[in-house]
């Protein structure tokens, strides 16, 4: 009998298995597809690789704009795709080797619950008995009737990562992190981007001033922007894509549909263990329990659909099982980032969360930051939200602001006061000193 069985080997499942090995728990990790899950194989890792490879294009453009010189960078997309494949393969091997070092049993199979203490492996037709189970099955791209992927002209965020030929025009439905990041990659390589969003601004989950800064940059990059625009259907004619809005039709060479993700909770036997989903997500309590001995972590519980949140939840659950933890998981300060340019970070409360409450804001522009100016990329700002003279939220938009996210998380988590800020020396020249300036305004 296993102390723990884990379904899903993405960031949450992997970290749970790794922590279980460290705690000397007999553990089985079950993954139907590939080790690393969505994040490693078709998500955050390849997209950041693509953005990193095309970043010189952005910098050359900025340095040209401020008349420091001219230049051109020709990216080999075929070489980039090969590097992506090699990096993913090497990381998968490293994951497997690390888990085996901790005596984790890895099964490439689909796990289906038979009851609250037994799980069946579909392909191998064997059953595993367990004391505890962790569901970490993640999410898949949301498919909407009329907007179905065809893998050629209408693409999911996974499928578009395999494109070697850069389309002259690319329509993107959805302006969340996936749409913005992939849009920047293709824009840098020459695609004309048409961004379509049902709501009234880009990155609609961020505060309006963040969205406004993103909007300014996208306009400068000559993206065609369509807000408050609902897509009725997509049609194909003569190898072209036609996106039908309520009052017009947009034509493009390719279309990326990036309108959210849905949890992978079907056909894993939840009905056998008396777990009912809510819109596909598995409800959990403050200890991430879906039932007495079964936990749900990461995207599948819908609490925070971020890889680092899943990893943290996985480690927490194992410590709970090993009696090394007894405090509830929630509330938890979870940071988020959007990459490319401009980058966006957010941690803690946003203005959107504080309607009707008293709060104060301090904000500084990045135009005077020496590191941002060194790259000719001084647009953006850092914003701090205060309640009762304590920091409750930090957000920022601009050049490489993701470098601030860990410090910002610590500050929000510890609810720093201005006196606590003054206890620390912030190095110069860094982006961090603009964070200090925002904190002490």
Q: Are residues 254 and 279 in the same domain?
A: no
Q: Are residues 190 and 217 in the same domain?
A: yes
- Residue 331: the pLDDT is 85
Which residues are known binding-site members for FAD? Answer: 48, 111, 299, 305-308
Active site residue 244: no
Domain around 229: 154-259
pLDDT in tens, 284-342: 999 999 999 999 999 999 999 999 999 999 999 999 999 999 999 988 999 999 999 99
The secondary element (H helix, E strand) that includes residue 390 is strand 390-398
Which residues are known binding-site members for NAD(+)? Answer: 174-181, 197, 260
- Residue 425: the pLDDT is 97
Q: Are residues 168 and 45 in the same domain?
A: no
- The CA distance from 380 to 396, in Å, is 7
In this structure, what CATH number is given to the domain that contains residue 241? 3.50.50.60
Q: Are residues 6 and 135 in the same domain?
A: yes
Q: Are residues 10 and 73 in the same domain?
A: yes
Kindly state the average pLDDT of the residues 131-150.
95
Could you tell me if 283 and 303 are in contact, meaning their C-beta atoms sit under 8 angstroms apart?
no
Q: Are residues 133 and 272 in the same domain?
A: yes
Q: Does 436 fall in a domain?
A: yes
Provide the strand spans (E) within 246-377. 249-252, 254-257, 261-263, 294-296, 336-338, 343-348, 360-365
- Residue 74: the pLDDT is 94
- The CA distance from 216 to 210, in Å, is 10
- Residue 252: the pLDDT is 98
- The CA distance from 121 to 138, in Å, is 18
Q: Are residues 115 and 61 in the same domain?
A: yes
Could you tell me if 191 and 167 are in contact, meaning their C-beta atoms sit under 8 angstroms apart?
yes
Q: Are residues 69 and 200 in the same domain?
A: no
Q: Domains in the chain: how many in total?
A: 3
* Catalytic option among 375, 403, 424, 428: 428
pLDDT in tens, 218-254: 999 999 999 999 999 999 999 999 999 999 999 999 9
- Residue 250: the pLDDT is 97
Considering 259, 276, 302, which residue would you say is the last residue of a domain? 259
Q: Are residues 10 and 133 in the same domain?
A: yes
In this structure, what CATH number is given to the domain that contains residue 366? 3.30.390.30
pLDDT in tens, 69-79: 999 999 999 99
Considering 274, 292, 321, which residue would you say is the last residue of a domain? 321
Distances in Å between the Cα of 437 and the Cα atoms of 17, 222, 302, 430 are: 42, 33, 35, 12
Average pLDDT taken over every residue of the chain: 96
Q: Does 147 fall in a domain?
A: no
Helix 11-22 × helix 307-321 angle, to 10°: 30
Q: Are residues 281 and 368 in the same domain?
A: no
- Residue 420: the pLDDT is 98
Quick one: which of 3, 6, 1 has its CA closest to 32? 6
Q: Are residues 346 and 426 in the same domain?
A: yes
Q: Does 206 fall in a domain?
A: yes
């Amino acid at each position: 009998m296993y102390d723990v069985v884990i379904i899903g080997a993405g960031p949450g499942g992997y970290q749970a298995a790794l922590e279980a090995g460290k705690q000397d728990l007999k553990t089985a990790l079950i993954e139907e597809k590939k080790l690393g899950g969505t994040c490693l194989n078709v998500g955050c890792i390849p997209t950041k690789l693509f953005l990193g490879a095309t970043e010189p294009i952005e910098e050359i453009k900025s340095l040209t704009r401020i008349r420091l010189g001219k230049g051109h960078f020709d990216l080999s997309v075929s070489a980039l795709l090969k590097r992506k494949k090699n990096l993913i393969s090497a990381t998968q091997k490293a994951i497997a080797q690390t888990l085996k070092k901790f005596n984790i049993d890895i099964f490439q199979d689909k796990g289906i619950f038979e009851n609250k203490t037994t799980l069946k492996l579909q392909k191998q037709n064997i059953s595993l008995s367990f004391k505890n189970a962790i569901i970490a099955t993640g999410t898949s791209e949301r498919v909407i009737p009329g907007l179905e992927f065809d893998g050629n002209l209408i693409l999911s965020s996974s499928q578009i990562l395999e494109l070697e030929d850069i389309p002259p025009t690319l329509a993107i439905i959805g302006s969340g992190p996936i749409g913005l990041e992939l849009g920047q990659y293709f824009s840098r390589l020459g695609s004309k981007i048409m961004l379509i969003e049902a709501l009234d601004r880009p990155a609609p989950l961020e505060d309006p001033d963040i969205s406004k800064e993103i909007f300014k940059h996208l306009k400068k990059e000559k993206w065609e922007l369509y807000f408050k625009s609902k897509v009725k259907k997509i049609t194909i004619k003569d190898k072209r894509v036609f996106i039908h809005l309520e009052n017009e039709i947009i034509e493009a060479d390719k279309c990326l549909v990036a309108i959210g993700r849905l949890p992978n909770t079907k056909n894993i036997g939840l009905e056998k263990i008396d777990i009912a989903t809510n819109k596909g997500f598995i409800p959990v309590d403050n200890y991430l329990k879906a039932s007495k001995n079964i936990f749900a972590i990461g995207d599948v519980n819908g609490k925070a659909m971020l890889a680092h949140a899943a990893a943290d939840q996985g480690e927490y659950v194992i410590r709970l099982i090993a009696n090394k933890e007894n405090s509830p998981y929630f509330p938890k300060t979870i940071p988020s980032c959007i990459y490319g340019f401009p980058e966006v970070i957010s941690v803690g409360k946003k203005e959107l969360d504080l309607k009707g409450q008293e709060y104060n804001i301090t904000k500084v522009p990045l135009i005077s930051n020496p590191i941002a100016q060194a790259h000719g990329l001084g647009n953006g700002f850092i914003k701090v939200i205060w309640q009762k003279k304590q920091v409750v939220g930090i957000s920022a938009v601009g050049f490489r602001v993701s470098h601030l996210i860990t410090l910002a998380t610590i500050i929000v988590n510890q609810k720093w006061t201005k006196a606590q800020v003054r206890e620390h020396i912030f190095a110069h020249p860094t982006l961090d000193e603009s964070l200090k300036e925002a904190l002490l305004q």
